[in-house]
């Protein structure tokens, strides 16, 4: 008999997303459904998953243990959101209104708005203010099913404010049950004061900020906005190599607005992921598909910027790329904390199947953060990060739009959200 301190019994369905991870091609079609499924954990780790009969034979729920009735509920692994710009200050609804009046995202950037607006606000905010903003956003994330999230700096764009953003993330990770994985993205833009001397800024990042990030162990990943007018392929390569030498893993904002070749570079440099890919080339698709680098798609960006062009997900999957999904939560191009919404957008706007979208936002998303041994699927030995939806079957999670069907969220074997309300932050 196995001891358990939490058990969920008789779920209508458990979509486990188990199997060999990362998932490519046809494997993305399988979400490993268990009908009338039961799941149990001990000290945060899954000790049992299966049907009711085996549960009774194999598991003993401790007297003080938590028992949840799964009747009328469907369980999925907690979402892993592998791309967010979480620690920002200020919002940009005024610029959104300008976009509605006809300005494009890039025209706003050329006017000195866009990312720069958020840089100004973030520089002015104290670490405490950033922390408080992060915590409120994490609350919204967990209410919409996210249990692990990546967060990037990149709105400080100088030594002190980049470090401040990363320290706010570290503190948020300590105070909130959602696990945060940090990325140093000093190369998100070229700050105003360095526009005419970009190389000096690159040197500052490599020789001053990066060593401090490393010394204080403030980030696991390094990210660059590889884009026309921002960082070129050569500059991205230089930055990425310096970060790798410092022991960080790489992510690249690649081929978002122009087909610069960021996807190929990500594959060649052994990046953990290439993200965006709205304008990826045929060559980029092939290179990514043959690599271990995840193709992280952000359908909320095309939607939010009202772009006709979308990332070519069917081609990516056909060729064998490791497709993951993320929010890209940020105030300019994707003002949403909700992975539930992203899951729905992936199906409605990218032409992904429901199963592909679920695997991409759980198992493959965990892979893109090198966390697939711990989270992203419901398997014995992994953390019990489980979201229980009040729906009759898993397709309804995508089908029923504009509402939040999430009833309970279990993070690390503990009830974090009960009856749609946060029980406690940590």
If the CB atoms of residues 50 and 331 are measured against ligand NIG, the closer one turns out to be 331
Partner from Fe ion, ligand NIG, none binding residue 256, C-beta < 5-8 Å depending on class: ligand NIG
The two structure tokens encoding residue 85: 């710009």
Contacts of 84 (CB under 8 A, 6+ apart): 149, 150, 151, 152, 326, 327, 328, 329, 330, 337
How far CA 32 is from CA of 29, 73, 140, 159, 288, in Å, comes to 9, 16, 28, 46, 26
Partner from Fe ion, ligand NIG, none binding residue 115, C-beta < 5-8 Å depending on class: ligand NIG
Please identify, among the stretches 110-118, 342-350, 395-403, 411-419, the one whose residues bind ligand NIG according to the rule CB under 6 A: 110-118
Give the residue closest to ligand NIG by C-beta. Answer: 332
Nearest to 40 by CA among 12, 68, 74: 68
Give the residue closest to Fe ion by C-beta. Answer: 328
d(CA 29, CA 17): 10
Partner from Fe ion, ligand NIG, none binding residue 254, C-beta < 5-8 Å depending on class: none
Binding mask 218-257 for ligand NIG (x = CB under 6 A): -------x---------------------------x--x-
Q: Which residues pair with 254 in a beta bridge?
A: 226, 276
Pairing state between β 294-297 and 322-325:
parallel
> Does the footprint of ligand NIG cover residue 122 (CB under 6 A)?
no
If the CB atoms of residues 116 and 353 are measured against ligand NIG, the closer one turns out to be 116
> Does the footprint of ligand NIG cover residue 162 (CB under 6 A)?
no
If the CB atoms of residues 99 and 372 are measured against ligand NIG, the closer one turns out to be 99
Question: CB of residue 113 vs ligand NIG: minimum separation in angstroms?
Answer: 9
Question: CB of residue 348 vs ligand NIG: minimum separation in angstroms?
Answer: 20
Other Cβ atoms closer than 10 A to 88: 29
Contact 32, 18 (CB under 8 A): yes
Please identify, among the stretches 38-46, 114-122, 340-348, 414-422, the one whose residues bind ligand NIG according to the rule CB under 6 A: 114-122
Question: CB of residue 42 vs ligand NIG: minimum separation in angstroms?
Answer: 39
Contact 253, 262 (CB under 8 A): yes
Q: Which of 153, 333, 364, 377 binds ligand NIG (CB under 6 A)?
A: 333
Question: CB of residue 305 vs Fe ion: minimum separation in angstroms?
Answer: 12
Q: What value, to the nearest 5°, has the Cα angle with vertex 87 and ends 176 and 376?
A: 55
Contacts of 170 (CB under 8 A, 6+ apart): 180, 182, 218
Please identify, among the stretches 47-55, 96-104, 190-198, 327-335, the one whose residues bind ligand NIG according to the rule CB under 6 A: 327-335
> Does the footprint of ligand NIG cover residue 86 (CB under 6 A)?
no
Q: Which of 330, 362, 377, 412 binds ligand NIG (CB under 6 A)?
A: 330
Contacts of 132 (CB under 8 A, 6+ apart): none
> Does the footprint of ligand NIG cover residue 336 (CB under 6 A)?
no
Question: CB of residue 417 vs ligand NIG: minimum separation in angstroms?
Answer: 27
151's enclosing H/E stretch is strand 146-152
Please identify, among the stretches 58-66, 197-205, 207-215, 326-334, the one whose residues bind ligand NIG according to the rule CB under 6 A: 326-334
How far CA 331 is from CA of 82, 95, 223, 304, 376, in Å, comes to 17, 10, 18, 10, 27
Please identify, among the stretches 31-39, 208-216, 331-339, 341-349, the one whose residues bind ligand NIG according to the rule CB under 6 A: 331-339
Q: Which of 22, 75, 114, 262 binds ligand NIG (CB under 6 A)?
A: 114
DSSP 103: -
Q: What value, to the nearest 5°, has the Cα angle with vertex 152 and ends 346 and 292?
A: 60
Q: Report the interface residues with ligand NIG, using CB under 6 A.
A: 85, 114-115, 118, 225, 253, 256, 301, 328, 330-333
């Amino acid at each position: 008999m196995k001891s358990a301190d939490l058990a969920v019994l008789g779920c209508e369905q458990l979509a486990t997303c188990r199997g060999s991870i990362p998932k490519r091609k046809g494997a993305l079609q399988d979400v490993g459904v268990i009908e009338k499924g039961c799941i149990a954990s001990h000290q945060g780790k899954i000790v049992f998953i299966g049907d009711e009969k085996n549960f009774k034979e194999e598991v003993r729920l401790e007297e003080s243990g938590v028992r949840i009735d799964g009747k009328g509920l469907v369980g999925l692994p907690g979402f892993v959101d592998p791309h967010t710009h979480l620690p920002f200050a200020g919002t940009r609804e005024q610029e959104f209104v300008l976009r509605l009046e006809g300005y494009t995202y890039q025209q706003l950037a050329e006017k000195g708005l866009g990312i720069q607006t958020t840089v100004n606000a973030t520089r002015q905010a104290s670490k405490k203010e950033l922390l408080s903003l992060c915590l409120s956003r994490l609350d919204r994330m967990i209410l919409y099913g996210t249990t692990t999230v990546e967060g990037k700096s990149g709105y400080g764009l100088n030594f002190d404010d980049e470090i401040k953003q990363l320290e706010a993330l570290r503190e948020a990770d300590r105070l909130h049950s959602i696990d945060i994985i940090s990325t140093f993205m000093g190369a998100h833009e070229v700050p105003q004061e360095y526009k005419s001397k970009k190389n000096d800024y690159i040197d500052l990042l490599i020789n001053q900020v990066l060593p401090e990030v490393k010394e204080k162990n403030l980030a696991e990943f390094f990210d660059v906005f590889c884009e026309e007018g921002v960082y070129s392929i050569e500059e991205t390569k230089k930055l990425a190599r310096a970060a790798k030498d410092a022991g960080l893993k790489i992510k690249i904002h690649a081929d978002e607005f122009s087909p610069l070749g960021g996807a190929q570079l990500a594959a060649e440099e052994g990046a953990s992921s290439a993200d965006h890919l709205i304008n990826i080339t045929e060559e980029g698709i092939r290179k990514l598909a043959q690599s271990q680098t995840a193709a992280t798609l952000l359908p909320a960006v095309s939607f939010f910027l009202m772009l006709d062009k979308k990332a070519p997900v069917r081609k990516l999957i056909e060729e064998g790329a490791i497709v993951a999904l993320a929010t890209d939560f940020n105030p300019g191009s994707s003002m949403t904390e909700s992975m539930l919404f992203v899951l729905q957008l992936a199906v409605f706007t990218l032409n992904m199947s429901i199963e592909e979208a679920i695997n991409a936002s759980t198992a493959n998303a965990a892979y893109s953060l090198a966390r697939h041994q711990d989270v992203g699927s419901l398997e014995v030995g992994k953390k019990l990060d489980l979201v229980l939806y009040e729906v009759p079957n898993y397709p309804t999670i995508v089908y029923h739009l504009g509402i939040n069907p999430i009833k309970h969220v279990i993070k690390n074997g503990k009830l974090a959200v009960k009856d749609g309300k946060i029980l406690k932050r940590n």
